[in-house]
Chain A
């Protein structure tokens, strides 16, 4: 069965420090991979996506992610975190079943300390 693992439930970083959020997926076919961000009480905003091609993808708000097939990973990075980046981040894989549904990880809550 398809699954997405985000091993870190909470991460705290200092403002200006670099950030890496981990994501591992399990899916038999070529994955469509996504990172979404959710501010408290809000919907999900798409940060970036990977379908094919260049394994390093750029997204909004200065985020990037790298697809590593050998490690089944799609980690999210940002070189310098801003206080406004505090939110919950979800990694997801798009699967062919059920109308091409998204299978989400449990999320990582990012706290930024000044």
Chain B
């Protein structure tokens, strides 16, 4: 069966520091991968998606970037964090066929 992992689970970082969040998927090949952010009072918003290694698309311009160095690894990064980057970051995967996305446990980021 497929599983999705995210780490770290919780992160507290100062403003201006770098960021790296990791997401890995097991039990599937060539998944579509997604990063969403859930900010307080603002629901879930898609940040990036990837259909394959090295292929990244972003819907919303922001302070963050994403990379997919391996088929089942998706990384969210920032060079300098802003206060507004605080939130709950969720990674999701989707295989071929029906459009269902399955979510990881999330990373809670607090920027101080």
Chain B residues whose C-beta falls within 8 Å of the C-beta of A42 in the assembled complex: 105-106
CB distance from A56 to the nearest CB of B (A): 18
Number of contact residues on B: which range applies?
20 to 34
The reply to whether A98 and B44 form a contact with Cβ atoms under 8 Å apart is: no
Return the chain A residue nearest B104 by Cβ: A43
With contacts A43-B106, A44-B103 taken as known, whether A98 is within 8 angstroms of B98 at the C-beta atoms is no
Whether B32 sits at the interface, judged by CB under 8 Å, is yes
Chain B residues whose C-beta falls within 8 Å of the C-beta of A105 in the assembled complex: 43
With contacts A42-B106, A90-B44, A104-B43 taken as known, whether A98 is within 8 angstroms of B100 at the C-beta atoms is no
CB distance from B33 to the nearest CB of A (A): 9
Against A, the Cβ 8 Å flags (1 = close, 0 = not) of B98-112 are 111111111010000
The reply to whether A101 and B59 form a contact with Cβ atoms under 8 Å apart is: yes
CB<8 Å pairs between A and B, sample of 9 = A36-B103, A41-B108, A46-B100, A90-B44, A94-B99, A98-B59, A99-B57, A104-B44, A105-B43
Interface residues of B (CB under 8 A from A): 6, 32, 34, 36, 43-44, 46, 49-51, 57, 59, 90, 92, 94, 98-106, 108
